[in-house]
Structure 1
Amino acid sequence: MNGFSFPTVETAPVAARETLAAVNKNFGFVPNLLSGLANSPVALHTYLGLAEQFGKTSLSPAEQQAVSISTSTENRCDYCVAAHSVLAGKSLSPSQISALRSGTPTGNSRLDAVATFTRAVVNQRGFISEDQLAAFFGAGFNRAQVLEVLVGISQKTLSNYANHLLGTPLDAAFESARWQPAEDRAA
C-alpha cells in the first residue's frame, strides 16, 4: 500500500473541505480521484481549475471528451477512461465512446482529428510535425484550439498520473464503464 488516503469531506485537510462539500452537492458523491487529490488542497484546486478552464474552450463538449478519453487511454489510466466514458454519454454515442476507448475511428471526422492529434501530442511529448498540424487544421481546427487541446491534456495528465500514484479505486458510478489497456487484457 502506498499510504495515501481518500479522505471524506469531514476528514480532508481543512483547505479542501469546502471544495469537496461543493463537489458532493453537485455530483451526489465525491469521486475517489478528487478525494485522493484532497491530500494536497493545492493539487485538488489546480485540477479543478484546469477542468473549469478546459470547459471554457471553443472545443465542443464531445471534442473535450475525445481529448480526455484519448489522453487517458494513452496514459493507461483505467479510472479516467471509465469516468469519462460515463460522462461522455451526454455528448457522444456509445459507438463513438467505444471507438475512442480503443483508438479506432468514430465515424466523425472532427472527433477523429482531435483524438488523433491528442494521442500524437501525448505520445510525442508535444513534438508535432507540420503534417500532423496540417491534418488537425484540415479538419477545421485553429491555432487557439491546438493550445486548448494542451489544456485538456494537462488536466488529464495530472489526474492520470495522480491515479497511478494514489492507486485510486474506481467509483461505483463508473463501474459500468470499467476499462483496462489492451496489452493488459492480452496478458
Structure 2
Amino acid sequence: MTEFSIYTKDTAPTGSIPTLEAAEKKFGFIPNLLGELAESPVAVEAYLSLSGTFGKSTLTPAEQQVVLLTTSYENECHYCMAAHTGGAKMAKLDEGAIQALRAGEPIADPKIEALRGFTRKLVVNRGWVQPADIDSFVAAGYTRANVFEVITGVALKTISNYTNHVAETPLDDKLAALKWDKPAKAA
C-alpha cells in the first residue's frame, strides 16, 4: 500500500515550503491535509489559491461553509467535515444548521436549505442540474453568479476530499472534538 507523508516546513519539497509557511501563519499550524498536499508544490499552492479565491465570493462566510460542508458530506470526507464544522462555527452559522449539515438533513432556514439543496444536486449529479434547480436556487434569493461560486466551492472541496480519501489523512489533534462519521441511514 502506498503511504503518503505529512510534510512539515522542515521536510517538505523546497517548492512547497513557502506555501506551508503561509498556511502556518494563517491557521496557526499546518493542517495534515496541507502537509500531504505539499508532496506536490503545484497541488498545495492550487488548493490554497482556490480557497482564497472562494473566500472572496459574494456568498457570506456562513454560506461558504454550507457549500463546503454539503460537498464534504456527499463525498463522505471525515477530515473536511470536522474542519468545516469548526469553520461554520467561526462563521457563526446557526448550530441547528451545522447539525443538519453533519447529518445530511434539510436545514430549517429556507434560503440556506436552498443553498444546501443546490450544492447537493451539483455534487450527486456531477454538475448535471436541471434548469428548474437553477431557477429555484435564484428564486430563494441567490444570483446567477452564485451558481458559479457554488461550483467553485465544490471544486475546492473535491481537491481536498479526494486528497483525504487517497492519502487517508488522519484528523489533526486540533480537530478531534469535531470528529465526524457519516450517519447510518434508516432502512
Band the TM-score falls in, shorter-chain normalisation: over 0.9
Contact in 2 for aligned 1:62/1:111 (Cα 8 Å) = no
CA–CA distance in structure 1, aligned partners of residues 155 and 177 of structure 2: 26
Alpha-carbon offset, residue 49 of structure 1: 1.0
Range that drifts further, 5-14 or 24-33: 24-33
Partner of 1:136: 137
* Correspondence 1:1-187 to 2 at 5 A: 1-91=1-91, 92-183=93-184
Alpha-carbon offset, residue 106 of structure 1: 2.3
Alpha-carbon offset, residue 133 of structure 1: 1.2
TM-score (norm 1): 0.95
CA–CA distance in structure 1, aligned partners of residues 103 and 87 of structure 2: 17
- Report the secondary structure of 2:180's partner residue: coil
Gaps of 5+ in 1: none
CA–CA distance in structure 1, aligned partners of residues 80 and 169 of structure 2: 10
Letter in 2 for 1:32: N
CA–CA distance in structure 1, aligned partners of residues 58 and 160 of structure 2: 22
Gaps of 5+ in 2: none
Alpha-carbon offset, residue 110 of structure 1: 1.7
TM-score (norm 2): 0.95
Identity of aligned residues (%): 45
Alpha-carbon RMSD: 1.3
CA–CA distance in structure 1, aligned partners of residues 26 and 148 of structure 2: 29
- Could you list the structure 1 runs, at least 4 aligned residues long, displaced by more than 6 angstroms after superposition: none
CA–CA distance in structure 2, aligned partners of residues 182 and 111 of structure 1: 21
Alpha-carbon offset, residue 60 of structure 1: 0.7
CA–CA distance in structure 2, aligned partners of residues 150 and 42 of structure 1: 21
Alpha-carbon offset, residue 37 of structure 1: 0.3
Letter in 1 for 2:73: T
Alpha-carbon offset, residue 2 of structure 1: 2.2
